[in-house]
Chains A and B, each alone.
Chain A
Amino acid sequence: MAARRSRIPATKYPVERFTLDNGLRVVLTPDRSAPVIGVAVVYDVGIRSEPEGRTGFAHLFEHLMFQGSENLEKLAHFRHVQGAGGTFNGSTHLDYTDYFETLPSNALERALFLEADRMRGPRLTEENLRNQVDVVKEEIRVNVLNRPYGGFPWLTLPPVMFDTFPNAHDGYGSFDDLESATVADAADFFRRYYASGNAVLAVSGDIDVAEATELVTRHFGDVPARPAPQRPDFTEPDLTAERRTSYTDALAPLPAVAGAWRVPDPVTDFAGYLPYVVLAEVLTDGDASRLVERLVQRDRTVTSLGGYLGFMGDPFDVRDPTALLLQAHLPPGGDVDKVLRTIDEELDRLAADGLTDGELARTQARMATHLLRDTDAVLGRALRMAVLEQQRGEPGLLNELPRLVGEVTEEQVRAAAATLRPERRAAIEVIAGGVR
């Protein structure tokens, strides 16, 4: 029976864009379906921008942005957001750092006030710095040092694939670097990267565009203007020979492996990049996907498998250089070489024989569901649009993604698979050291 193709639906979120005199770019996307809003401020600075000798600084600075600002004492930010019925957080990525709240819509002006206040100037004190260095060290212990597979593969694979400090270093940071960070470093980092011209504000949800525009202007209009710094070129040449390393994880009970291949520039060659996003899903999304069927169900050489674009799994908010990653956990005594060989074999087969009837369409339908589900939350929408504005000047692309994913052809997916050659691959193996 020929595969019936599900129609890929689209969203029609309206998008209003403007730029304040100080260079702050603003995106508004109203939706009155629930009385809640999402507010996101994204700065164009991430792990790749931190100075040598200051590993982990971008993330440490993210913590400092919550420690009070011009008109707000330490702890006030948290209390004002939560006391308005909202939640907040921030996160540090390779290419950006975001700060966000989701709140009942009657707190719009309050959220704007809070974000504008720290854009003018966080309270960078010695006491706050020392306190947050301690907190970040506990964060690293709980997420990396005290648990098996900590940092695998997002911290352990980049140094295999890349050679330059920006791309290869540990973005969580070494304890030595964190402990030697100073208030002056922080002030310098703020002055340079947290400029109004280097930021995007996005507000989504239950807002009136005219009123929100007026409130944004009122609160952010007098943030001192500072231009965006020039973003350095982080380019690195592609691999020409396979790179493999391994390390023993003293806590891990079972072996694991991750491999990655460079992909086209997600921003300047989006059309060339998209087939890789689809390919990752063809290979790994669920029991009907190529590699799950082969490695998990048939060969039983791996017990779980994942595939995605971008070291932090962020296909639509990452810049070049980036990669398609596959990662797998193996049964006891599992053979990593064999797993990598089988992956090569399946990629060859896909490149040579193409997809089966309906395989592409069903994968695309499932991807549309994931995209729509992510944007159902007002905050998901604000964050995604803020980064799309920042990296592409195109927040409305969010509405187009399900359709664009749906337009990727079988030929393109085959061609993408054909480029994932072993000689272009970087791989890292976790050797189980945790014997129980």
Chain B
Amino acid sequence: MTTTTTAPVGPRTLPPLGPTRKLKVPKQAERTLRNGLTVIAVRRPAVPLVELRLWVPFGRVHLARGAMLSQTMLSGTESMTSVQIAAELQKVGGGLSAGVDPDRLMLSGAGLVTGLDRMLELLAEVLTGASYPSDEVATERDRLVDRIQVAQSQPAHLAREALLKRIYGRHPYATQTPEPGQIRAVRPAALRAVHSERVHPAGAQLVLVGDVQPEKALDAAERALGGWSGAGRTAELPATPPLEPGPLLLIDRPGSVQSSLRIALPAVSRTDPDHAPLQLANLIFGGYFSSRWVENIREDKGYTYGPHSVIEHSVAGSVLVAAADVATEVTGPALLETTYELGRLASLPPKPEELEQARQYALGTLQLGMSTQAGLAALTSAYAGNGLRLDFLAEYAARLAKASIDDVARAAARYLAPARAAIVVLGDAERVTPGLAALTTVQTEQET
């Protein structure tokens, strides 16, 4: 081994950690308005800003109409144009954006805290008066079609689409991106219909986080949004189907210089007793940089740049997804090492120091996630959308703290066993098939 400097006086030892600071949940208040909207306000006064997240349940909304609704919701109201809405928000340092997924419509924004009242007024204006003007809808329709076309040229997007279809079958989660042709068929009248039917306060959650007095923020929200009404339809999503193992699905993308490897494994919701031990098992496998998978296929073998695995929670179910983009020529070996690491963790208990390291990471990153207004807003909203409140953080931390080696080994055996995996690979089939077929049954499909 070569080092660049002369040898030190003697080995230096790693300093110990100081005493752990207890997780403190910030001050918050909650109120459910008469129209059914739940408002949660959390105080974090570090900078004179406020973060806003409005979660509207949006399950089973027509895919293309939902996507177009989020694309055009801020395009105008009876009294304001899209430019006026944007300019009025800008005046208070604010902005709003809208997005959809199969669970929810989300309106997000941030601005100077002195502009909170104004941001809420403008939010209310859009919620109660979005008019979907024909010209703007036509513009946004073309833009969305182009964006989808660009997405469909991205390997990460294509691999994700294939994985969702593979694991969700006939469940509404199976397809999350509409086809351009479906988008082209959406007319303003359909958007107004979806809006009146589904954008209503019952069951919705508004989260405000920042330099606010929580009770006063609730009052402000009630003043602005108390008049938002409209009884509409709600829709329950069926539970996601159990993961069906089967042959590896290979999507041919001729000429790819990398293969996108995606593996789905079963997981449980945040409130399940298995969740904390599974989270720890996931970290040990591939959920952070100091995991077995990263150390193996990146730091030892150099097959890939950014492998990672994560538990994704949706309203109707949870799933663990492992993802790595690997050089075409090592696609087979990368799958071999991946299956090896999953199998090893599912068969043998982790070492105590591995578990402690993962535990400290899980607990520490909870603190980090709560240390900004934006982080707290994201967390509070994700929890609220799944029926939880911030106090669940303390409970989760306690579960992480007490999960034993046996608990983690049991979770790994139950959820991480490679026999339970659904595997999708996007890559150059001609070049990667032999290597993959040596390890498992392969079923090939053309890229669509």
Interface residues of A (CB under 8 A from B): 3-4, 6-7, 9, 11, 31, 33-36, 70-71, 74-75, 78-80, 82-88, 102-110, 113, 117, 120-126, 130-139, 141-142, 145-149, 183, 187, 190-191, 206, 224, 251-254, 285-288, 293, 296-297, 300, 303-304, 329, 331-332, 358, 361-363, 365-366, 368-369, 372-373, 375-378, 434, 436
Contact call B146/A332, Cβ cutoff below 8 A: yes
Tell me how far the C-beta of A414 lies from the nearest C-beta in chain B, rounded to whole angstroms.
19
Q: Is the CB of A372 within 8 A of B47?
A: yes
**Contact partner, A373, options B4, B49, B89, B147, Cβ 8 Å:** B49
Q: Does B8 contact A (CB under 8 A)?
A: yes
- Is residue B91 contacting chain A, with contact meaning CB distance below 8 A? yes
A82-B150 in contact given A142-B306, A190-B4 (Cβ < 8 Å): no
Contact B302 A138 (CB under 8 A): yes
A434 to B256 Cα, complex, angstroms: 13
Q: What's the least CB distance linking B259 to chain A, in Å?
A: 9
Q: Which residues does chain B contribute within 8 Å of A31, judged by CB atoms?
A: 46
- The 8 Å CB contact of B326, one of A138, A149, A254, is A138
Q: How far is the CB of B135 from chain A (nearest CB, A)?
A: 9
A436→B372 CA distance, assembly (Å): 43
Taking CB atoms, residues of chain B closer than 8 Å to A362 are 87, 90-91
Contact call B91/A6, Cβ cutoff below 8 A: yes
Give the distance in Å from the alpha carbon of A254 to the alpha carbon of B304 in the complex.
Answer: 28
Asked if residues A104 and B93 are in contact (CB atoms below 8 Å), the reply is: no
Q: Indicate which residue in B4, B24, B90, B365 contacts A365 across the interface (CB closer than 8 Å).
A: B90
For A142, list chain B residues within 8 Å (CB): 258, 305-306, 325
Q: Is the CB of A366 within 8 A of B93?
A: yes
Smallest Cβ-Cβ distance to A107: which chain B residue: B17
Query: Smallest Cβ distance from B160 to chain A, in angstroms?
Result: 14
**Residue numbers in B under 8 Å from A366 (CB-CB):** 90, 93-95
Q: Which of A33, A135, A224 contacts B298 (CB 8 A)?
A: A135
Please give me the 3 A-B residue pairs with the lowest Cβ-Cβ distance, nearest first. Answer: A85-B364, A134-B302, A106-B18
Q: With both chains docked as a complex, state the minimum distance between the C-beta of B277 and any C-beta of chain A, in angstroms.
A: 18
Measured between alpha carbons, how far is A11 from B367 in the docked complex, in Å? 23
Q: Which residues of B contact A148 (CB under 8 A)?
A: 150, 153-154
Q: Which residues of B contact A288 (CB under 8 A)?
A: 83-84, 86-87, 90
Q: A104-B367, A109-B18, A369-B111 are in contact. Are A11 and B47 (CB under 8 A)?
A: yes
Q: Nearest Cβ in chain A — how far from B97, in angstroms?
A: 9
Verify B153–A125 contact, CB threshold 8 A.
no
Interface: B235 (CB within 8 A): no
Please tell me if the beta carbons of A369 and B49 are within 8 angstroms of each other in the complex: yes
**Cα separation A423 to B256 with both chains bound (whole Å):** 39
Query: Within B333-378, which residues are at the interface with A (CB < 8 Å)?
Result: 356-357, 360-365, 367-368, 370-375
A-side contacts of B288, CB under 8 Å: 82
Q: Which residues of A contact B326 (CB under 8 A)?
A: 138
CA distance A252 to B150 in the complex (A): 7
When the two chains form their complex, are residues A331 and B142 in contact, meaning their CB atoms are under 8 A apart? yes
Q: Mark B289-322, 1 if CB is under 8 A from A, else 0.
A: 1100001001111111110000000000000000
Considering the complex, give the chain A residue whose CB is closest to the CB of B148: A253
9 A-B residue pairs with CB within 8 Å: A86-B361, A104-B368, A113-B15, A134-B327, A135-B304, A139-B306, A142-B305, A372-B49, A436-B152
Q: Find the B residue at minimum CB distance from A300.
A: B139
Do the beta carbons of B94 and A121 come within 8 Å of each other?
A: no
Q: In the assembly, what is the distance between CA of A105 and CA of B18, in Å?
A: 8
Residues of B within 8 A of A363 (CB): 90
Bound Cα distance A85, B136 (Å): 47
Q: Are A122 and B360 in contact (CB under 8 A)?
A: no
Instruction: Name B8's contact: one of A71, A135, A303, A376 (CB within 8 Å).
Output: A71
**Docked-complex contact A104 and B92, CB < 8 angstroms:** no
Measured CB to CB, the nearest residue on chain B to A114 is B14
Q: How far apart sit A109 and B13, CA to CA, in the bound complex (Å)?
A: 12
How far is the CB of A7 from the nearest CB of chain B, in Å? Answer: 7
Q: Would A34 and B367 count as touching, CB distance under 8 A?
A: yes
If A80-B14, A135-B305, A187-B2 touch, whether A106 touches B20 (CB-CB below 8 Å) is: yes
Contact B325 A253 (CB under 8 A): no
A388 to B112, CA, bound (A): 25
A123-B1, A138-B303 known; A79+B364 contact, CB < 8 A: no
Residues of B within 8 A of A34 (CB): 46, 367, 370-371
- Distance in angstroms between the alpha carbons of A168 and B374 in the assembled complex: 37
Contact with A along B88-122 (1 / 0, CB 8 A): 01111111000000000000001110110000000
**Residue from the set A117, A123, A252, A286 with the largest chain B CB neighbour count within 10 Å:** A286
**A residues within 8 A CB of B361?**
82-83, 85-86
Q: A4-B91, A373-B49 are in contact. Are A86 and B368 (CB under 8 A)?
A: yes
B95 touches A6 (CB 8 A): no
Q: In the docked arrangement, what's the CA distance between A163 and B303, Å? A: 35
